Structure 1
Amino acid sequence: MLTAPNPNDTSRPLFTTKQILQFYLDFGPSIFNLTAASGWNNSIPHAKFDGKFLYEIARKLLQETRLHETLTNVVIPTFDTYELQPVIFSSFKLKTVPSLDAKLSDICLGTSAAPSQLPPYEFRNGDHHFNLVDGALTANSPALLAVSEVIQQLNEKNSDFVPIKANEPIKIVLLSVGTGSSPETRRIPAILAKYFSFNDWVPILAIGLGISAGKVNDYHLESVFPSDSSSSDNYYLRIEEYNLDTSIAADNTTKENMEKLVKAGDDLLKQSVKVMDVTSFLPYEKPSEGTNAEALERLAEILYNERKLRLKRKSMEKQGRPFIEAVTSAFQMT
């Protein structure tokens, strides 16, 4: 919604952030229809929600818009259940893998098809056949995936990622927004687990693999974004509620639950910035960063200034004048 172009002004996004919030308040109850799902349980051989309304609204809003038309570069992970392989819909890969230039509606429906919640999503793009489920099966935390894409572009000498000055260090700025988590309270001593059957292990493995995948991502990101930011030019901001009220369910679209979610988001902005200790894998506050709201404002300013520089670069290049020469001459005049 933020990267799809608005048909009335293709330089602007389809939705503003406030409109996205209102979209979920208005249509969440239809996407996650609790009445239709009232008789569902884990033993029933189909998804809890049929996805029909989601398909309808996604196609209506995004229409024929394709991946190459997004306002900025995007990287969207999915998993193909037929090929048993990840499928990464990346703006950077379209020249070499044209089949990835699918309709945004199809990509969104594929990456949102959470197993057991929404049905797997099947579609064709030209001669290519996709059978997709939730991207979390590929990348539990898309942050690491985004950084990998940037590093690949740096290695390929993409001009959009080249510093203005030759001796200027490369700086990666990353914003990662989580969906909230609650502390895991179950403790399983080895003396008890040694008597578990396969069926006993299945739910524990599902939870454990999901949690550990996220923690390992934090471990990898520490090498690019050290907690001691003074030792790196890179900047990483993680916005996450680590103590989410356990009564708030992801698919509960009652008015009361939706209001709780909105309040949780508002309260999160007022909290101090937290970073992950990759030894204990526990978050801790970083007072020097201020609140999440303050950190977001600083990050927005960084991105705004970067965008102005990129637009300036493209403008100068169109005029046949090297961007670096134009920038340095402006400084010399002052």
Structure 2
Amino acid sequence: MSMESTSQVFQLQHQSYGKLITVLSIDGGGIRGLIPGVILAFLESHLQKLDGAGARLADYFDVIAGTSTGGLVTAMLTAPNDDNRPLFDAKDIKDFYLDHCPKIFPQERRNPISRAARMFKCLFGPKYDGKYLHSLLREKLGDAKLHQTLTNIVIPAFDIKKLQPTIFSTYQLKKNPSLDASLSDICIGTSAAPTYLHAHYFETKDSDGHTRQFNLIDSDPKEHGRFLVLSLGTGSPQVKDQKYDAKSAKKWGCFGWLITLADVFSRASSDMADYHNPTVLQALHSQENYLRIQDDTLTREMSSVDVATKENLEDLVRVGEKLLKKAVFKRSLNRGAVNHALVKQPWFIHQTCFLVSLDLKDTKSTSEVFQLQHQSYGKLITVLSIDGGGIRGLIPGVILAFLESHLQKLDGEEARLADYFDVIAGTSTGGLVTAMLTAPNDDNRPLFDAKDIKDFYLHHCPKIFPRERRNPISRAARMFKCLFGPKYDGKYLQSLLKEKLGDTKLHQTLTNIVIPAFDIKKLQPTIFSTYQLMKNPSLDASLSDICIGTSAAPTYLPAHYFETKDSEGLTRQFNLIDGGVAANNPTLIAIDQVTREMITRKSRGIFPQDPKEQGRFLVLSLGTGSPQVKDQKYNAKSAKKWGCFGWLITLVDVFSRASSDMADYHNPTVLQALHSQENYLRIQDDTLTGMMPSVDVATKENLEDLVRVGEKLLKKAVSRVNLETGIYEPSNQGTNEEALIRLAQILSKEKRLRDATLSINHLDSN
């Protein structure tokens, strides 16, 4: 079925006027900001019909969020003019883009010499110097600062020095006054797309004279935290127009991945937001109040972020205008398209206008306070999540061995982790560990004990990631090879996994598992989930293929192609790279999968019918370590000079860290919405130095160092990440070792109660 737009919507609620929290979110996408600009002009014009010509969007939304080009639109709609009204009307956005985009992104002349010169320049510096954009924003936004916006705003960026997201949020200013930067600096930072515009450095000074440095590049749009949400996309290529596949990508080296990486990571980020938002809003009792408007029919130059020709810009305006006339759709991540036409976009926008208008006339928005329910053994949903990180999988391996050993002390030597967790999720190296713990042996018990993980990594990692000889000629040859092909051929890993996992398929695992990967042909995540097999039997791939795919890190290992065939003989193709591109920390994906299962149908067995009723989730999330903050090696002053070469390896590092850090940011909020914030244990080390942060330096010394990191981590205090500093800080809950012992006791009691319940049910049935 051919689909034309990607919009997600549920019918708006009418019963809570005056108590809505209204959210507007705008994606990034360069010149494609024209598309949401058209939608916003339509929405504001209808608010003006209801409430008068002075009505502006900032009067109706409690928070407006935007990234990159969406951050610029956010600032335009909320920065005050001299009369303390919005600096721009929504209808001004279109003309602003049409006038200024050709000057921000000047197009090269059509002759071959000019094009060749531009391409050569792009290898060693950003494609555009950004000077016009900088001067334009400083002229239009002046000295307006974050605290001066006419409604709350949220604009994410990414600090390349700290290797973590920086969220410019008016909600955070009281606690973090150093975030009160000028809107122009914020917009320049969030728009600094790698390889296109240079990184942006600036400083702020608070009332005490403390200076804070920012080293910013482009980031990705964030989810919304009783909630009326309008989320506007900036368009994406139509599926049949995708230009990558695993067969070509498996041969790529640094050159092949140069431009592709930024495309892949930005699409992964956007798709994961499409994936999570409906579930998060369902948990927040707001699923009926969510409208996502997006187009997925862009072809050729329309899907670019910078082809600012008159013809292309006008084409984008027409996309926005046509999108208003299209039916509202829901997104299908499994097919990479959209389905279920519901109602026309304009009708829904009229309804949105009606509700936000009434809500404004009533009372100021309020949010719900969630209380943790009393624990009820036998009705927990137990989740284990393991991050990606190559050889650093040794760190969670040590933690898991400790946990399983304590379960064995409680329940006997046959106890295995798969007996206790309802779902185990893992990405990349975490996906491999997940398969090891859940694949069945001939006795239908786990193929590996948790204690086997360490020796498995120590023995096989040096063969998966062989080191070059120490002489300069060998090193030079390896570096040259990496320019035109992956650093490692992946043959040993592939043969190892096929030998160990055999023909075992996804449906055969001993407990539910979730392993994300990224399909480079569809440019979207592929989630291998046992929960989805009834609905999508084409996902029932062999565990070896799934693990090879989720581990295929760009520039390190070749992309992986395989096919599956369902019972009706229908073939599905997969073109996979590393799942860390989309979700290096898969905790939220695992929670999503369970929540969807509980929401869509009455679950069998132990699960409660509604994930919102009680504190049901018990979550253990294991990281694979990250560099010590003082050991960070990037900053805006050096990054602003980078071209494609400078960004190549950095992008993998940056986006993987961004993915993990945003999971740290979102997971506590989601679990609070699910009444389970006290049942969440995240174990992560952020003190890695030297070679330890690498994913592939598989020397004996480095691998043993990683084992010691895991052992020491057990003795460290339970910590929570401070998102301002990027540092894990003690949370007064004892050591990780003590927390795992408590967790083992809960898991043991939970399993015994489940076993007793199953026995009673069996007797009753007889």
| Counterpart residue number, 2:453 | 20
In the alignment, the residues of structure 2 paired with residue 72 and residue 146 of structure 1 have an alpha-carbon distance, to the nearest angstrom, of 13
SS in 2 for 1:319: helix
1:331 alignment partner in structure 2: none
Choose the corresponding residue for 1:58, options 485, 497, 505. 497
Asked if 1:215 is matched to 2:215, the reply is no
Unaligned runs of 5+ in 2: 1-435, 566-570
Q: Is the 8 A contact 1:111 1:133 kept in 2?
A: yes
1:114–1:133 CA contact under 8 A, matched in 2: yes
Larger displacement relative to structure 2 (17-26 or 93-102): 17-26
Task: Kindly indicate whether the alpha-carbon contact (under 8 Å) linking 2:598 and 2:608 is maintained by their aligned counterparts in 1.
Answer: no
Task: Give the TM-score, by structure 1 length.
Answer: 0.84
Listed one character per residue, the Cα deviations across residues 36-88 of structure 1 (whole Å, up to 9, x for unaligned) are 89532275221111111111111111111111111110000001111212110
Partner of 1:235: 679
The question of whether the paired residues in 1 share the 8 Å contact of 2:714 and 2:736 is answered with yes
Q: Partner letter of residue 729 of structure 2?
A: Y
- Structure 2 distance, partners of 1:45, 1:195, is 24
Evaluate the alpha carbon distance shift between residue 250 and residue 100 of structure 1 in structure 2; reply closer, same or farther with a 3 A threshold.
Answer: same
1:5 maps to which of 415, 418, 440 = 440
Closer, same or farther: CA 100–23 of 1 in aligned 2, 3 Å: same
Per-residue Cα deviation, 1:1-43 (whole angstroms, up to 9, x for no partner)? 1111122x20x21011121211111122111122489532275
Tell me the secondary structure at the aligned position of residue 515 of structure 2: strand
Describe the SS at the equivalent of 1:5.
coil
1:175, distance to aligned residue in structure 2 (A): 0.9
In structure 1, list runs of 5 or more residues that go unmatched.
323-334
C-alpha change, 1:40 and 1:195, in structure 2 (3 Å) is closer
Aligned-residue offset at 1:310: 2.7
Structure 2 letter corresponding to 1:40: R
Change (3 A) 1:30 1:299: same
1:82-231 matches, cutoff 5 A = 82-126=521-565, 127-156=571-600, 157-160=602-605, 162-163=607-608, 169-184=614-629, 185-186=632-633, 188=635, 206-225=652-671
Is the contact made by 1:238 and 1:275 (CA closer than 8 Å) also made in structure 2? yes
Q: Report deviation, 1:250.
A: 2.5
Deviation readout 1:182-230 (Å, 9 max, x if unpaired): 135346357x76666566566655544333332222221121345xxxx
Cα separation, 1, equivalents of 2:619 and 2:454: 22
Q: Which whole-Å CA distance do the structure 2 matches of 1:194 and 1:253 have between them?
A: 32
- Aligned residue-pair number: 315
Question: How far is 1:271 from its partner?
Answer: 0.8
Q: Secondary structure at the match of 2:517?
A: strand
Tell me if structure 2 keeps the 8 A contact 1:171–1:233: no
SS of aligned partner of 2:690: coil
Q: Does the residue aligned with 1:308 lie in a helix, a strand or coil?
A: helix
- Deviation of 1:313 after TM superposition, in Å, equals 3.0
Matched, 1:33 2:466: yes
Residues 201 and 104 from structure 1, CA distance in 2 versus in 1: closer, same or farther, beyond 3 angstroms?
A: closer
Quick one: which amino acid aligns to residue 125 of structure 1? Answer: T
Q: Which has the higher contact order (CA 8 A, sep 6+)?
A: 2
Aligned amino acid, residue 530 of structure 2: S
Give the letter for the 1:18 counterpart.
Answer: K
TM-score relative to the length of structure 2: 0.38
Partner SS for 2:591: helix
One-letter code aligned to 1:286: S
SS of equivalent to 1:131: strand
Cα deviation for residue 115 of structure 1 reads 1.1
Aligned residue number for residue 330 of structure 1:
none
Counterpart Cα distance in 2 of 1:189 and 1:76: 34
Residue of 677, 694, 699 corresponding to 1:254: 699
1:266 to 711, 716, 719: 711
- Identity of counterpart residues, as a percentage? 40
User: RMSD in angstroms over aligned alpha carbons?
Assistant: 2.9
Give, in angstroms, the shift of residue 280 of structure 1. Answer: 4.7
The answer on whether the counterparts of 1:163 and 1:170 sit within 8 Å (CA) in structure 2 is no
Which SS does the other structure have where 2:483 is aligned? coil
Shift of the 225–257 alpha-carbon distance from structure 1 to 2, 3 Å rule, reads same
Moved more, 259-268 or 38-47: 38-47
| Counterpart code for 2:607 | V
**Equivalent position amino acid for 1:134 in 2:** D
Distance in 2, matches of 1:254 and 1:109, equals 22
Distance 1:137 1:302 in 2: 34
8 Å CA contact retained: 1:176, 1:238: yes
**Whose Rg is larger?**
2
Which moves more between the two structures, 116-125 or 150-159?
150-159
After superposition, residues 75-86 of structure 1 pair within 5 angstroms as: 75-86=514-525
Judged with a 3 Å threshold, the aligned counterparts in structure 2 of structure 1 residues 130 and 163 are, in CA distance, closer, same or farther, namely closer
Q: Partners of 2:642 and 2:490 in 1: how far apart? A: 36
- Give the deviation of 1:232 after TM superposition: 4.9
Decide whether the 8 Å contact of 2:525 with 2:582 is kept in 1.
yes
| In 2, Cα distance between equivalents of 1:150 and 1:317 | 23
8 A Cα contact 1:222 1:278, kept in partner: no
Pairing 1:305–2:746 present? no
**In 1, distance between residues paired with 2:755 and 2:448?**
23
Contact map agreement 1:154 1:161 (CA 8 A) in 2: no
- Aligned-residue offset at 1:315: 3.0
Cα deviation, residue 140, structure 1: 2.2
| Residue 74 of structure 1: aligned partner | 513
Letter in 2 for 1:262: V
Is the partner of 1:286 in helix, strand or coil? Answer: strand
Give the drift of 1:306: 2.1
Give the AA of the match of 1:5.
P
The 3 A distance-change label for structure 1 pair 183 and 52 is same
Name the residue aligned to 1:48.
487
Write the letter of the residue equivalent to 1:188. N
2:501–2:543 CA contact under 8 A, matched in 1:
yes
Q: Is the 8 A contact 1:51 1:119 kept in 2?
A: yes
Structure 1 residue 273: Cα displacement: 0.9
Query: SS where residue 55 of structure 1 aligns?
Result: helix
Structure 2 match to 1:328: none
Aligned-pair CA distance for 1:117: 1.1
Change over 3 Å in CA distance of 1:188–1:55 after alignment to 2: closer
Q: Secondary structure at the match of 2:574?
A: strand
- Whether the 8 Å CA contact 1:224–1:234 is kept in 2: the answer is no
**Structure 2 counterpart of 1:34, one-letter code:** R
Deviation at 1:131, TM superposition (A): 1.1
- Residues 173 and 235, structure 1, Cα contact 8 Å, conserved in 2: yes
d(CA) in 2 for partners of 1:163 and 1:136? 31
Q: Cα offset for 1:99?
A: 0.7
1:260-299 equivalences in 2 (<5 Å):
260-278=705-723, 280-287=725-732, 289-299=733-743
